[in-house]
């Protein structure tokens, strides 16, 4: 991935590199400032488009560059495997501390977002219905961390976590949930259809399994254009019983398409437990019947998800896809807004509470010395502040006018 | 000009668009190696290869959905349905994904897909293979619905549909595939939403689409020969978008209208036309608007009866004569 000089100058005059903020060999996060530049109008910082390791600084301090010039080379394949820090996880792979804390922050952001949205519903200020993902944060974050910024995802009616993991902002999502014209879908999609194609996420496909053929078709487009992107297709265990699942997986296999099928197996399709609707409850077994690789992974271990998804993504990218990942996880909320979730047995809930992905990961960070309590508090505060400030703005976001109702139906 | 079949017109349109735009890909059951169930794609696989003509399993929901996903990323898939009757197993994909995604994305995402195939009765294949879903699909904002009656229209409309940035449901007719019309040798396009006066007349407007246009043209010849009634035949060509002005101008001229369709009458295209005409040209009407449609039952198998179930020139003539 190259960091290019954007078109910053209104006059077309060259832009000066003032100062490098990151050294060669350093790990950078998505959105981290890398270099300070000066135009004829202002001084500003340029940010990394994705996580990785800075390999080269191509323009020395004091030199000038034009729009489109490559300033730096960042190797995103080393997002999680560079041995720079001294952190170690149970499986002996080394990760940079910043990468780990970023995973933690993303998961916490999703949890806090969902809890805040639930509170907004309870207080009666948020319209519609809602399908939440508390307890499933590691699946979204682990998979999306393994993707490149230009890869795509498809999601479902339970898409808030996927959207935040893919880089949609809290603000554009809350604005959408409040039905505002500043929302990521201009208030025309809502909770179940959250997405932003500019960030690699099509609107949530809210009919069970409906997104699986669509994702497969996106992969067909990559194949036809001989590009390197892949698509990660999220769906739940309930989708496995739909015909669209079978049809799409069969064709993806037939043509070795670069699609990563991600089944978040949370044991329940709405209120019905998985063993009431399928004889073989190991979803990853399905892959073999289509002729490709399937794997079941602890979906509440964000690093296990990240590693499995990284490997699967690499296979897809090199023409050895598709891959079916079954991520075992648990939904701590009801299926939808009005579901009190009484069908989940107490012991089962207790087991999965003890297995909560965020608590588990926080403990690992503390035990491994990658974070102390102050670090976690600081992250918590940052997340809370971001959400609270977005909630305040979202509550007053302007609503679409009646004239907006009839637009965007057709392109022409 | 060349005298070619409706089928050849469609094939030429596909061939030209495949050559013109590398994003065009034809996807469907036996469209490539077998040359298409109705031979519309004959020779195209040999000419353009596996990447442009893709044979699929019998998985309509799957490959229609895939076409939609590919279209979201800028390909221009042309999905062939062996029959439009098979679209019902892909209805979620068509309605929810092709039809709604642009709107739900706030206009950020287009779905430039064409779904095409025959949608007609009259071939003694019974109820499940004789559906005419243009009214169902035209009821979905976000979808466009096109139904050409001639080879000339088939070619020009298909080329436009492929270049259109919205999902276009393209309704053909197996009974027309072998019929011949004059088609220009040079390239032409027909805009969507532009009706065509297939026969000018002054006494009554026969408004139709698809093969019902041919029925109306035959009826018009008999009406003038036997009853001295000069009928104008308005071919809608595209049902959505709809060329209201051409329809209304015709009615303002003739003051009488009969809407003819091969679909079922209940909530049919004729109901839409009648509503639109009475709302916008009520004072121009000298008689109630007449409708002729398929008789209101699932398509019957029995050959002599199926002929009577579909509109024929005689029923059109009777309806015209009954207008006061």
Q: Do B103 and A254 touch (CB under 8 A)?
A: no
Q: Which of A248, A252, A237, A260 is nearest to A311 (CA)?
A: A260
Q: Are B198 and B233 in contact (CB under 8 A)?
A: yes
Chain A residues within an 8 Å CB radius of B107: 186, 407-408
Closest CA–CA distance from residue B96 to any residue of chain A (Å): 8
Interface mutation vs chain B, best among A155, A216, A220, most B CBs within 10 Å: A220
Number of domains in chain A: 2
Q: Do A202 and B109 touch (CB under 8 A)?
A: yes
User: What pLDDT score was predicted for residue B214?
Assistant: 98
Q: Which of A300, A265, A32, A372 is nearest to A141 (CA)?
A: A300
Q: pLDDT tens-digit profile of B296-306?
A: 999 999 999 99
Q: What is the block-wise mean pLDDT of chain B (324 residues), using blocks of 10 residues?
A: 97 98 98 97 98 97 98 98 97 98 97 98 95 97 98 98 98 98 97 98 98 98 98 98 98 98 98 98 98 97 94 98 88
CA dihedral A54, A59, A61, A66 (to 10 degrees): -120
User: What pLDDT score was predicted for residue A83?
Assistant: 36
- For the cut 50, the answer to whether the pLDDT of residue A186 exceeds it is yes
User: Is B226 labeled as catalytic in the residue annotation?
Assistant: no
Cα–Cα distance measured from residue A17 to residue B270, given in angstroms and rounded to the nearest whole number: 68
Question: Which uninterrupted H or E stretch holds A250?
Answer: helix A243-254
Chain A residues within an 8 Å CB radius of B68: 213-214, 217
Chain B residue closest in CA terms to A229: B73
Mean of pLDDT values over A62-89: 63
Asked, for residue A252, whether it belongs to a domain, the answer is yes
Q: Do B144 and A247 touch (CB under 8 A)?
A: no
Asked, for residue A319, whether it belongs to a domain, the answer is yes
Mean of pLDDT values over A301-324: 97
**Same domain? A267 vs A371:** yes
CA dihedral B133, B134, B136, B138 (to 10 degrees): 160
Asked, for residue A304, whether it belongs to a domain, the answer is yes
pLDDT band at A89; cut points 50, 70, 90: very low
Q: Do A202 and B106 touch (CB under 8 A)?
A: no
**Same domain? A49 vs A129:** no
- Which pairing describes strands B231-235 and B196-199: parallel, antiparallel, or unpaired? antiparallel
Q: Do A183 and B106 touch (CB under 8 A)?
A: yes
Chain B residues within an 8 Å CB radius of A187: 106
**Same domain? A19 vs A158:** no
Cα–Cα distance measured from residue B96 to residue A295, given in angstroms and rounded to the nearest whole number: 31
State which residues form the domain around A282: 97-394
Q: Are B231 and B203 in contact (CB under 8 A)?
A: yes
**Same domain? A28 vs A129:** no
Asked, for residue A329, whether it belongs to a domain, the answer is yes
Chain B residues within an 8 Å CB radius of A248: 62, 65-66
pLDDT band at A11; cut points 50, 70, 90: low
Residue ending a domain, among A19, A50, A78, is A78
Chain A residues within an 8 Å CB radius of B191: none
CA distances (Å), origin A86, targets A18, A82, A94, A301, B85: 32, 10, 7, 20, 63
Q: Are B293 and B274 in contact (CB under 8 A)?
A: no
First-to-last C-alpha distance (Å) of chain B: 42
What is the b/e burial string over B166-177, where b = at least 16 CB atoms within 10 angstroms of the residue's CB?
Answer: bbbbbbbbbbbb
Chain B residues within an 8 Å CB radius of A409: 102-103, 141-142
Using CB atoms, which residue from A196, A197, A247 is nearest to B61?
Answer: A247
Q: Are B148 and B168 in contact (CB under 8 A)?
A: no
Using CB atoms, which residue from A196, A213, A412 is nearest to B66?
Answer: A213
Q: Do B105 and A244 touch (CB under 8 A)?
A: no
**Same domain? A201 vs A53:** no
**Same domain? A49 vs A171:** no
> What ipTM score was computed for the predicted complex, to two decimals?
0.94
The 10 Å Cβ neighbour count of residue A93 is: 14
User: What pLDDT score was predicted for residue A82?
Assistant: 36
Q: Do A411 and B165 touch (CB under 8 A)?
A: yes
Asked, for residue A339, whether it belongs to a domain, the answer is yes
CA distances (Å), origin B299, targets B123, B125, B135, B257, B266: 10, 9, 16, 26, 14
| Cis before B241? omega within 30 | yes
Cα–Cα distance measured from residue A136 to residue B68, given in angstroms and rounded to the nearest whole number: 29
Interface mutation vs chain B, best among A152, A200, A221, A226, most B CBs within 10 Å: A221
Closest CA–CA distance from residue A255 to any residue of chain B (Å): 10
| Annotated catalytic residue, options B17, B29, B80, B129 | B129
All domains of chain B, ordered by start, with CATH?
Answer: 2-183 (3.40.50.970), 196-323 (3.40.50.920)
Closest CA–CA distance from residue A290 to any residue of chain B (Å): 13
Number of A/B CB contacts below 8 angstroms equals: 145
Task: Please report, for the domain that includes residue A261, its CATH number.
Answer: 3.40.50.970
User: What percent of chain A stands above pLDDT 90?
Assistant: 73
Secondary structure (3-state) at B67 = helix
Distance of CA B145 to the CA centre of its chain: 7
The residues, any chain, with a CB within 8 Å of residue B68's CB and separated by 6 or more, are A213, A214, A217, B93, B97, B98, B101, B111, B113, B167
Closest CA–CA distance from residue A158 to any residue of chain B (Å): 16
**Same domain? A233 vs A344:** yes
- Token reading at A137: 């944060």
Mean of pLDDT values over A62-80: 75
**Same domain? A218 vs A160:** yes
Cα–Cα distance measured from residue A12 to residue B26, given in angstroms and rounded to the nearest whole number: 44
Q: Do B66 and A217 touch (CB under 8 A)?
A: yes
Cα–Cα distance measured from residue B124 to residue B305, given in angstroms and rounded to the nearest whole number: 10
Cα–Cα distance measured from residue B159 to residue B17, given in angstroms and rounded to the nearest whole number: 7
Higher pLDDT, A65 or A289: A289
Higher pLDDT, A23 or B80: B80
**Same domain? A377 vs A302:** yes
Chain B residue closest in CA terms to A200: B73
pTM for the whole structure: 0.86
Chain B residue closest in CA terms to A189: B104
Using CB atoms, which residue from A188, A251, A412 is nearest to B104?
Answer: A188
Mean of pLDDT values over A367-380: 97
**Same domain? A56 vs A24:** yes
User: Is B60 labeled as catalytic in the residue annotation?
Assistant: yes
Closest CA–CA distance from residue B166 to any residue of chain A (Å): 6
Asked, for residue A410, whether it belongs to a domain, the answer is no
Distance of CA A204 to the CA centre of its chain: 13
| Annotated catalytic residue, options B29, B60, B172, B232 | B60
**Same domain? A251 vs A142:** yes
Interface mutation vs chain B, best among A163, A203, A404, most B CBs within 10 Å: A203
Helix axes A243-254, A211-225, angle to 10 degrees: 20
Q: Are B313 and B219 in contact (CB under 8 A)?
A: yes
User: What pLDDT score was predicted for residue A67?
Assistant: 76
Interface mutation vs chain A, best among B96, B106, B142, most A CBs within 10 Å: B106
Closest CA–CA distance from residue B152 to any residue of chain A (Å): 23
Cα–Cα distance measured from residue B201 to residue A53, given in angstroms and rounded to the nearest whole number: 76
Mean residue pLDDT of chain A comes to 91
Asked, for residue A274, whether it belongs to a domain, the answer is yes
Closest CA–CA distance from residue A263 to any residue of chain B (Å): 18
Asked, for residue A135, whether it belongs to a domain, the answer is yes
**Same domain? A217 vs A277:** yes
Task: Please report, for the domain that includes residue A69, its CATH number.
Answer: 2.40.50.100
């Amino acid at each position: 991935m190259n960091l290019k000089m954007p078109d910053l100058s209104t006059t077309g005059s060259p832009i000066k590199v003032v100062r490098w903020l990151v050294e060669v060999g350093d790990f950078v996060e998505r959105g981290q400032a890398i270099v300070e530049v000066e135009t004829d109008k202002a001084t500003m910082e340029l940010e990394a488009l994705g996580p990785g390791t800075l390999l080269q600084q191509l323009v020395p301090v004091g030199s000038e560059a034009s729009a489109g010039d490559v300033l730096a080379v960042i190797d995103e394949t080393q997002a999680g495997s560079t041995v720079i820090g001294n952190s170690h996880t149970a499986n002996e792979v080394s990760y940079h501390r910043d990468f780990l804390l970023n995973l933690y922050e993303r998961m916490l952001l999703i949890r806090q977002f969902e809890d805040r949205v639930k509170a907004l519903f309870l207080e009666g200020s948020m319209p519609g219905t809602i399908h939440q993902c508390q307890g499933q944060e590691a699946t979204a974050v682990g998979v999306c961390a393994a993707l490149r910024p230009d890869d795509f995802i498809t999601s479902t009616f339970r898409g808030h976590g996927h959207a935040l993991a893919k880089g949609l902002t809290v603000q554009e999502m809350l604005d959408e949930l409040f039905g505002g014209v500043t929302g990521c879908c201009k208030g025309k999609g809502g909770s179940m259809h959250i997405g932003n194609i500019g960030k690699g996420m099509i609107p949530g496909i809210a009919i069970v399994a409906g997104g699986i053929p669509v994702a497969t078709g996106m992969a067909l487009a990559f194949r036809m254009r001989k590009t390197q992107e892949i698509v990660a297709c999220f769906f739940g265990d309930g989708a496995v019983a739909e015909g669209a699942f079978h049809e799409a997986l069969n064709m993806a296999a037939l043509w070795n398409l670069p699609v990563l099928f991600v089944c978040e197996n949370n044991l329940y399709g709405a209120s019905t437990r998985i063993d009431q609707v399928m004889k073989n409850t190991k979803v990853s077994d399905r892959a073999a019947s289509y002729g490709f690789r399937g794997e079941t992974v602890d979906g509440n271990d964000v690093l296990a998800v990240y590693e499995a998804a990284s490997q699967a993504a690499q296979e897809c990218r090199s023409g050895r896809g598709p891959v079916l990942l079954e991520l075992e996880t648990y939904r701590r909320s009801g299926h939808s807004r009005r579901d009190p979730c009484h069908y989940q047995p107490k012991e089962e809930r207790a087991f999965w509470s003890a297995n909560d992905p965020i608590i588990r990961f926080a403990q690992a960070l503390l035990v491994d010395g990658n974070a102390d309590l102050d670090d976690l508090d600081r992250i918590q505060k940052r997340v809370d502040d971001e959400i609270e400030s977005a909630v305040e703005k979202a509550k007053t976001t302007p609503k679409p006018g009646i004239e907006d109702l009839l637009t965007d139906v057709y392109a022409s | 000009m060349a005298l070619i079949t409706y089928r050849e017109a469609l094939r030429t349109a596909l061939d030209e668009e495949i050559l013109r735009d590398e994003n065009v890909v034809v996807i469907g059951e036996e469209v490539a190696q077998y040359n298409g169930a109705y031979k519309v794609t004959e020779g195209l696989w040999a000419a353009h290869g596996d990447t442009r003509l893709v044979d699929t399993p019998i998985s309509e929901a799957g490959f229609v959905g895939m076409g939609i996903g590919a279209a979201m990323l800028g390909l221009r898939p042309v999905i062939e349905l062996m029959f439009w009757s098979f679209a019902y197993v892909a209805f979620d994909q068509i309605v929810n994904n092709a039809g709604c995604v642009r709107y739900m994305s706030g206009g950020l995402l287009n779905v430039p897909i064409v779904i095409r195939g025959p949608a007609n009765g009259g071939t003694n294949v019974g109820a499940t293979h004789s559906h005419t879903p243009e009214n169902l699909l035209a009821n979905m904002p976000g979808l466009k619905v096109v139904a050409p009656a001639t080879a000339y229209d088939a070619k020009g409309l298909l080329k436009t549909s492929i270049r259109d940035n919205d999902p276009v449901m393209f309704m053909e007719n197996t009974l027309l595939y072998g019929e011949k019309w004059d088609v220009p040798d040079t390239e032409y396009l027909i805009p969507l939403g532009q009706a065509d006066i297939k026969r000018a007349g002054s006494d009554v407007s026969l408004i139709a689409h698809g093969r019902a246009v041919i029925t109306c043209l035959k009826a018009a010849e008999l009406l003038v020969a036997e009853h001295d009634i000069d009928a104008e035949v308005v071919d809608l060509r595209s049902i959505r978008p709809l060329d209201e002005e051409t329809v209304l101008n015709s009615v303002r001229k003739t003051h009488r209208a009969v809407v003819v369709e091969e679909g079922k009458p209940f909530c049919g295209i004729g109901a839409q036309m009648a509503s639109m005409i009475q709302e916008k040209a009520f004072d121009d009407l000298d008689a109630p608007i007449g409708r002729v449609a398929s008789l209101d039952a699932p398509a019957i198998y029995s050959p002599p009866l199926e002929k009577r179930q579909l509109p024929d020139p005689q029923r059109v003539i009777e309806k015209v004569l009954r207008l006061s």
